[in-house]
């Protein structure tokens, strides 16, 4: 870590990159706000986990990747899908359960996919995606490619067996996978220190996988550090474990309180006021005269307009055809025998 | 046509498919240097190297997930479970990842892979190592389940399963690995999934079964013939997709059916087949469909009790006679 | 000692029986030969007697309940004997899977069928609850087959568990398998009284081809018109002679007598189809189709060829009375060699009757109008060819048109 920190310095990015990161974060923020709003009026159903407060993770960890690299995530993945290049219209339509959604309305908030841009899905079982990432990295290794696979996980996932099984095998075979913990300190409503005797950074040690700590509320730092890590892995450094320290401004999902039961209102207010990744970057840029408030406002309007269009698209998009229910359960209709046993005729 | 063992038939299928398609690889516990716990993968490491024949740690959840992930990016993994009893450690990846990938991604991502190994009881292995696991996996749409009972079926179906574009749970049997049988030559010997095989033809009663139970059924059919009853022994071979047409055809002819399976009765294969017969062959039935299954208990160790708990020829004969009102 | 009380075959065709009334209740002391229950068979109400003594420990079938022949319906045992093996029958049975150790063909069904009860002297006249309103158990296939072939399930006895009608019962009903005849329960007569004629190849072919063509019993019909004017006169004379005895010979009695005489002259029409042979009888036993309250029964006038008109008259009346009261004994309604159905009294001019297998023919008698009467004989073509039937009818016509001919 120390070596990396020495190399990495804040404000070392050029203006263009910083504006790109700012624009990305604004888009993610407005997207999630709109999702929350739509959820509140019943346009979006089921579970819906917002990324508000953690936009720097999506922007900073994914911006360094190439299109052919892979990202696989958890159920808090809307913004990561956007970051990897999935169209906001398609993601919003999926949240609305509509036919042009990324999964034709059959996946929902927790299962956004964009395989054409290397986004290998949001996955709903804590820890499950770690083993899938292992396989994706195996695929890269098998074919001798130089892509990397970034696997996001929540801090609670490190207590799953899948975490240790995956890190162990990734290490044995030196696979190009980066396990990036979005360490927002709470597994749903349980503080990490209550469910782990050791620190996050110690979790990969027994597998010989290097651990790094990154400031996930500072997008410049996240981006810079992650760029380094990605390049190292691309060069064959093997699996990495990154403790991306961040903070969730909203509840775990839409039905959860923002504060009160497991964290204090003061703690949340303190973080929203002092550790908002968008404000942090904007302030840095104001200070360095790289950005004016008017420019920020204009960028924000741009982001809002993109989201407005995405929302309008989702709103007016058609419902999926009932027949589509059966379309992708199997990749092809078997010429022989029966695959479905519900007796329904569509 | 050569007479080879069930084990060698599987081995041939693996060799041929790995030769044919570079994206096929085998992983699991003891599959490489040890040549496989049951020697199914004998010689493969030497032939294909350690990237394509991979010894894994004892981490069923992890390596099964690895298989699904590799399949998601276009490889065709063959995941070996030393026995399907251990697959329960990996059931999250089978059910939540493999089975649902196509549907939850709207068809963007699929998991073409084979999950294979022995299932069912061998001899005196106790409750944790003696269970027929097909019903667990049949329950989940998105998976296919195949249960070959002869060397020819083992080869023809494994080759098809490897080429299939969906996850296929492929259940072998410890007691069948040494079984010899005629296996057609040729690399294009493929048996389609979803096609049952009438292993014996008779007109009086349909015995509907699969996997190693077909041998129990054939012995029972011999005994029934001596008593003047001729049984259809219908080997389903593939449980999903299921050859419903052949089931209905046989029962239309015999008007009676007994479902024989190695697993437990509650929610088992026979329960499903019986339900289909109720729904689609009601007017053909001259007697209620009966099932012969394992005793509804964890498999005991004691030899006598184990034999009692397993479905056997005598029980099947009795059930067949009962549906024939004899 | 434990004695199982089975549902016994109390009539030759009985497949199941219904308990009308238990005459003993649980706990009663029972001696061998005691009447335990009244059982309604397919034909009559019969008595079921104890085949062992002790206490009536368990009654397994309630009044009104039905059980197939052979099923244990009660248990007689000493007070200290274990009878836990026997459970109540009319509890709903759970869907069977065969994983249990219980033998699939349970003890109850494995018990050999008892010989039918012959001591029918004290026939109970009380009529038990009928089958109306009760569900007839039948397999789905049996229902499909029955519907297809126009069979009423009510007319068929089931041989499956709990009397379920199954495929083979329908086939038996269709096939006119001579099941009832095959059972040597009621003897038609000693071997000297009939002759079995082996089937020639030609006869076999005729039987097979005709069955394929028209159904299990290939009927054909011959009608003849008879001038009864001479018998009208003769009947008046006879009845005048019998007037003091209060007896009035009917045309039906005359037709029975004439038919018996004609059959004696044409034994080829006094026959049964036995599947593998044709049985020609020397004696003539004429079944007389008799309507009863809930159906039809055919009491048999035995040795009709050797009975006088008055004897025939008396026998017909006696049997009709018993039939009405459901008191016919099995031997009184089985074993016919030829049947007559007379609907003349209903004003029916002519009709065709359905053969009562395994008999080879039945005579349908129409009404007498202006001295003319039409007779239609239904013939089983496997037994009777057209010319044979025609010759018989010619003789019958002669006897009926010329009373003296009956004495030749």
Question: What distance in Å separates the CA atoms of residue B26 and residue B49, rounded to the nearest whole number?
Answer: 11
* Residues of B (299-318) whose Cβ lies below 8 Å from C: 308, 311, 315, 318
Are residues B172 and B118 in contact, defined by beta-carbon separation less than 8 angstroms?
Answer: yes
Instruction: Give the mean model confidence (pLDDT) for residues B235-256.
Output: 97
* Residues of B (269-288) whose Cβ lies below 8 Å from C: 282-288
Question: What distance in Å separates the CA atoms of residue C196 and residue C279, rounded to the nearest whole number?
Answer: 4
Interface residue B26 vs chain C (CB under 8 A):
no
Minimum CA–CA partner of B66 in chain A: A135
pLDDT at residue A321, as a whole number: 95
Query: Which pairing describes strands C16-22 and C35-40: parallel, antiparallel, or unpaired?
Result: antiparallel
For an interface test with B, which of C108, C141, C158, C171 has the most B Cβ atoms less than 10 Å from its Cβ?
C141
Peptide bond into A100 cis (omega under 30): no
Residue A129 lies in a domain: yes
Question: What distance in Å separates the CA atoms of residue A249 and residue C182, rounded to the nearest whole number?
Answer: 92
Q: Residues with Cβ < 8 Å from B81, sequence gap 6 or more?
A: B28, B60, B87, B90, B115, B116, B117
- Kindly determine whether residue A135 and residue B109, on different chains, have CB atoms separated by under 8 Å: no
Residue B163's pLDDT band (cuts 50, 70, 90): very high
pLDDT at residue C66, as a whole number: 87
Question: What distance in Å separates the CA atoms of residue A80 and residue A74, rounded to the nearest whole number?
Answer: 10
Residue A309 lies in a domain: yes
Query: pLDDT, tens digit, for every residue of A22-40?
Result: 999 999 999 999 999 999 8
Q: Is residue B215 annotated as part of the catalytic site, yes or no?
A: no
- CATH number (domain holding residue A304): 3.40.50.970
Question: What distance in Å separates the CA atoms of residue C310 and residue C239, rounded to the nearest whole number?
Answer: 10
pLDDT at residue C325, as a whole number: 83
Question: What distance in Å separates the CA atoms of residue A37 and residue B134, rounded to the nearest whole number?
Answer: 45
Has residue B102 got a pLDDT over 90? yes
Q: What CATH architecture is C140-175?
A: Irregular (4.10)
Query: How far is the CA of A253 from the CAs of A155, B108, C299, in angstroms?
Result: 16, 26, 87
Q: Smallest Cβ distance to C99: which of B285, B296, B322?
A: B296
- Name which of B86, B32, B35 is nearest B64 in CA terms: B86
Query: How far is the CA of C76 from the CAs of A85, A303, C23, C30, C67, in angstroms?
Result: 86, 93, 14, 8, 18
Interface residue B292 vs chain C (CB under 8 A):
yes
State phi, psi for A171 to the nearest 5 degrees: -70, -45
Q: Could you tell me which CATH number the domain at C191-407 has?
A: 3.30.559.10
- Kindly determine whether residue B325 and residue C161, on different chains, have CB atoms separated by under 8 Å: yes
Higher pLDDT among residues B233 and C26, named by residue: B233
- Exposure pattern of B148-178 as b/e (b: 16+ CB <10 Å)? bbbbbbbbbbbbbbbbbebbbbbbbbbebbe
Query: pLDDT, tens digit, for every residue of B10-21?
Result: 999 999 999 999
Give the Cβ contact number of residue C80 at 10 Å. 5
Q: What is chain A's percent helix, strand, coil content, to nearest 5?
A: 50, 10, 40
Query: pLDDT, tens digit, for every residue of A306-332?
Result: 999 999 999 999 999 999 999 999 998
Q: Which residue in the block uniquely carries the two structure tokens 């009790």?
A: B305
Are residues A226 and A59 in contact, defined by beta-carbon separation less than 8 angstroms?
Answer: no
Question: What distance in Å separates the CA atoms of residue C135 and residue C122, rounded to the nearest whole number?
Answer: 31
**Minimum mean pLDDT range among A155-159, A267-271, C292-296:** C292-296
List B235's β-bridge partners, or say none: B197, B209
pLDDT at residue C151, as a whole number: 82
Q: Give Cα C40 to chain centroid, integer Å.
A: 15
Instruction: Give the mean model confidence (pLDDT) for residues A94-109.
Output: 97
Give the Cβ contact number of residue B199 at 10 Å. 20
Minimum CA–CA partner of B145 in chain A: A339
Are residues A251 and A49 in contact, defined by beta-carbon separation less than 8 angstroms?
Answer: no
pLDDT in 10s for each residue of chain C, 408 residues: 788 888 887 776 777 888 988 999 888 889 888 889 988 877 777 888 888 888 999 898 988 888 888 888 999 988 888 887 775 544 434 443 434 343 333 333 333 333 334 443 333 333 333 344 467 889 999 998 888 888 888 878 888 888 899 998 888 888 753 334 333 334 444 445 777 787 776 677 677 766 766 777 888 999 999 999 888 888 988 888 888 888 899 999 999 999 999 999 999 999 998 887 889 998 999 999 888 877 788 899 999 988 888 899 999 999 998 888 888 888 888 889 999 999 998 889 999 988 888 899 999 999 998 889 999 999 999 999 999 999 999 999 999 998 888 777
Residue A346 lies in a domain: no
**Minimum mean pLDDT range among A285-289, B198-202, C216-220:** C216-220
Q: Is residue C6 annotated as part of the catalytic site, yes or no?
A: no
**Host domain of residue A61:** 2-327
Query: pLDDT, tens digit, for every residue of A216-228?
Result: 999 999 999 999 9
Q: Mean pLDDT for chain B? A: 97
pLDDT at residue A78, as a whole number: 97
Number of structural domains, chain A? 1
Q: Residues with Cβ < 8 Å from A88, sequence gap 6 or more?
A: A27, A31, A82, A306, A307, A309, A310
CA distance, residue B149 to nearest chain C CA (Å)? 22
Domains identified in chain B and CATH numbers: 2-183 (3.40.50.970), 197-323 (3.40.50.920)
Task: Please report, for chain C, the start and end positions of each structural domain, with discontinuous segments joined by +.
Answer: 3-110, 140-175, 191-407
Please give the span between the terminal C-alpha atoms of chain B, in angstroms, as a whole number.
41
Q: Which CATH class is domain C3-110?
A: mainly beta
Has residue B180 got a pLDDT over 60? yes
Question: What distance in Å separates the CA atoms of residue C77 and residue C3, rounded to the nearest whole number?
Answer: 6
Q: Could you give the angle at the alpha carbon of C265 between the alpha carbons of C309 and C372, nearest 5°? A: 60
Q: Please list every residue in chain A whose beta carbon sits closer than 8 Å to the beta carbon of residue B210.
A: none
pLDDT at residue A73, as a whole number: 97
Residue A236 lies in a domain: yes
Has residue A211 got a pLDDT over 60? yes
pLDDT at residue A4, as a whole number: 46
Q: Residues with Cβ < 8 Å from C102, sequence gap 6 or more?
A: none
Give the Cβ contact number of residue A176 at 10 Å. 28
Q: Do chains C and A touch (3 or more CB pairs under 8 A)?
A: no
pLDDT at residue A325, as a whole number: 94
For the record, the structure tokens of A80 come out as 């990561």
- Exposure pattern of A108-122 as b/e (b: 16+ CB <10 Å)? bbbbbbbbebbbbbb
Q: Smallest Cβ distance to B265: which of C99, C141, C161?
A: C99
Question: What distance in Å separates the CA atoms of residue B39 and residue B30, rounded to the nearest whole number?
Answer: 9
Are residues A274 and A91 in contact, defined by beta-carbon separation less than 8 angstroms?
Answer: no
pLDDT at residue C88, as a whole number: 56
pLDDT at residue C62, as a whole number: 87
Question: What distance in Å separates the CA atoms of residue B221 and residue A154, rounded to the nearest whole number?
Answer: 58
- Kindly determine whether residue A168 and residue B166, on different chains, have CB atoms separated by under 8 Å: no
Prediction ipTM score: 0.95
Residue A23 lies in a domain: yes
Query: pLDDT, tens digit, for every residue of C224-242?
Result: 999 998 888 889 888 888 8
Q: Residues with Cβ < 8 Å from B171, sequence gap 6 or more?
A: B84, B116, B117, B118, B119, B120, B133, B134, B145, B146, B147, B211
C-alpha dihedral, C168 to C174 to C175 to C176, nearest 10°? 110
């Amino acid at each position: 870590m120390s070596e990396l920190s020495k190399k990495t310095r804040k404000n070392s990015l050029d203006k263009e990159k910083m504006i790109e990161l700012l624009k990305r974060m604004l888009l993610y923020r407005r997207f999630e706000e709109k999702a929350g709003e739509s959820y509140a009026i019943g346009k979006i159903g089921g579970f819906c986990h917002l990324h508000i407060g953690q936009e720097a993770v999506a922007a900073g960890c994914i911006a360094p990747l190439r299109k052919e690299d892979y990202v696989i995530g958890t159920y808090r993945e809307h913004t990561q899908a956007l970051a990897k290049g999935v169209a906001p219209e398609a993601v919003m339509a999926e949240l609305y359960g509509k036919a042009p959604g990324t999964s034709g309305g059959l996946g929902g908030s927790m299962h956004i996919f964009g395989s054409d841009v290397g986004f290998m899905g949001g996955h709903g079982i804590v820890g499950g995606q770690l083993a899938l990432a292992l396989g994706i990295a195996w695929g890269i290794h098998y074919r001798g490619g130089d892509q990397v696979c970034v696997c996001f996980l929540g801090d609670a996932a490190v207590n799953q067996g899948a975490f240790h099984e995956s890190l162990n095998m990734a290490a044995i075979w030196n696979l190009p996978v980066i396990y990036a913990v979005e360490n927002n300190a709470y597994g749903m409503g349980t503080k990490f220190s209550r469910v782990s005797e050791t620190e996050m950074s110690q979790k990969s040690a027994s597998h010989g996988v290097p651990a790094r700590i990154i400031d996930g509320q500072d997008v410049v730092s996240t981006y810079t550090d992650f760029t380094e890590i990605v390049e190292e892995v691309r060069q064959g450094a093997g699996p990495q474990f990154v403790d991306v320290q961040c903070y969730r401004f909203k509840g775990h999902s839409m039905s959860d309180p923002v504060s009160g039961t497991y964290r204090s209102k003061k703690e949340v207010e303190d973080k929203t006021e002092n550790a908002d990744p968008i404000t942090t970057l904007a302030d840095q840029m104001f200070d360095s005269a790289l950005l004016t408030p008017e420019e920020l406002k204009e960028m924000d309007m741009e982001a809002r307009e993109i989201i407005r269009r995405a929302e309008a698209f989702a709103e007016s998009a058609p419902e999926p055809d009932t027949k589509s229910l059966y379309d992708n359960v199997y990749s092809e209709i078997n010429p022989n025998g029966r695959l479905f046993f519900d007796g329904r005729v569509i | 046509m050569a007479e080879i063992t069930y084990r060698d038939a599987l081995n041939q299928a693996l060799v041929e498919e790995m030769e044919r398609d570079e994206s096929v690889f085998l992983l699991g516990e003891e599959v490489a240097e040890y040549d496989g716990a049951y020697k199914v993968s004998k010689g493969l490491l030497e032939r294909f190297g350690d990237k394509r024949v991979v010894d894994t740690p004892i981490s069923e959840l992890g390596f099964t997930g690895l298989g699904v992930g590799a399949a998601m990016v276009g490889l065709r993994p063959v995941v070996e479970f030393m026995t399907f009893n251990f697959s329960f450690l990996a059931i999250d990846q089978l059910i939540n990842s493999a089975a649902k990938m196509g549907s939850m991604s709207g068809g963007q991502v699929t998991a073409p892979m084979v999950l294979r190994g022995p299932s069912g009881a061998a001899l005196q292995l106790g409750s944790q190592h003696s269970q027929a696991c097909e019903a667990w996996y049949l329950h989940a749409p998105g998976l296919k389940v195949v249960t070959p009972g002869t060397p020819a079926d083992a080869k023809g179906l494994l080759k098809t399963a490897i080429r299939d574009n969906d996850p296929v749970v492929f259940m072998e049997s410890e007691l069948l690995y040494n079984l010899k049988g005629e296996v057609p030559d040729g690399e294009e010997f493929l048996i389609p999934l979803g096609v049952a095989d009438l292993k014996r033809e008779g007109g009086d009663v349909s015995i509907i079964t699969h996997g190693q139970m077909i041998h129990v059924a054939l012995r029972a059919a011999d005994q029934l013939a001596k008593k003047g009853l001729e049984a259809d022994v219908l080997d389903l071979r593939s449980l999903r997709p299921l050859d419903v047409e052949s089931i209905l055809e046989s029962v239309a002819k015999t008007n009676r059916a007994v479902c024989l399976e190695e697993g437990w009765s509650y929610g088992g294969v026979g329960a499903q087949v019986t339900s289909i017969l109720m729904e689609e062959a009601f007017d053909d039935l001259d007697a209620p469909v009966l099932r012969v299954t394992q005793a509804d208990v964890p498999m005991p160790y004691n030899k006598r009790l184990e034999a009692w708990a397993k479905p056997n020829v005598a029980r099947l004969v009795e059930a067949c006679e009962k549906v024939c009102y004899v | 000692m434990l004695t199982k009380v089975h549902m016994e075959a109390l009539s030759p065709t009985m497949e199941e029986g219904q308990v009308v009334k238990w005459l003993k209740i649980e706990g009663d002391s029972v001696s061998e030969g005691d009447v335990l229950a009244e059982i309604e068979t397919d034909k009559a109400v019969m008595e079921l007697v104890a085949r062992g003594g002790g206490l009536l420990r368990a009654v397994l079938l309630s009044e009104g309940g039905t059980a197939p022949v052979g099923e244990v319906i009660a248990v007689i045992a000493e007070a200290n004997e274990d009878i836990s093996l026997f459970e109540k029958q009319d509890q709903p049975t759970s869907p069977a899977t065969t994983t249990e150790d219980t033998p699939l063909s349970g003890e109850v069904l494995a018990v050999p069928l008892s010989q039918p009860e012959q001591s029918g002297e004290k026939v109970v006249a009380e009529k038990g609850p009928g089958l109306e309103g009760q569900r007839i158990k039948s397999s789905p296939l049996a229902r499909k087959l029955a519907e297809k072939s126009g069979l009423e399930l009510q007319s068929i006895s089931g041989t499956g568990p709990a009397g379920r009608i199954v495929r083979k019962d329908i086939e038996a009903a269709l096939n006119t398998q001579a099941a009832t005849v095959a059972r040597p329960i009621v003897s038609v007569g000693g071997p000297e009284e009939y002759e079995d004629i082996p089937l020639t190849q030609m006869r076999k072919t005729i039987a097979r081809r005709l069955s394929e063509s028209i159904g299990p019993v290939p009927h054909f019909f011959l009608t003849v018109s008879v001038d009864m004017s001479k018998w009208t006169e003769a009947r008046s004379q006879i009845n005048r002679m019998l007037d003091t005895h209060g007896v009035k010979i009917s045309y039906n009695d005359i037709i029975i007598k004439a038919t018996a005489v004609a059959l004696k002259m044409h034994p080829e029409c006094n026959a049964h189809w036995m599947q593998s042979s044709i049985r020609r009888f020397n004696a003539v036993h004429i079944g007389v189709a008799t309507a009863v309250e809930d159906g039809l029964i055919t009491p048999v006038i035995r040795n009709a060829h050797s009975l006088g008109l008055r004897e025939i008259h008396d026998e017909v009346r006696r049997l009709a009375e018993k039939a009405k009261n459901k008191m016919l004994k099995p031997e009184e309604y089985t074993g016919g060699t030829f049947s007559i159905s007379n609907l003349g009294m209903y004003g029916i001019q002519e009709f065709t009757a359905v053969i009562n297998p395994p008999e080879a023919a039945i005579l349908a008698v129409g009404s007498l109008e202006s001295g003319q009467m039409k007779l239609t004989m239904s013939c089983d073509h496997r037994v009777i060819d057209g010319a044979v039937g025609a010759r018989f009818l010619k003789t019958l016509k002669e006897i009926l048109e010329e009373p003296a001919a009956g004495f030749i």
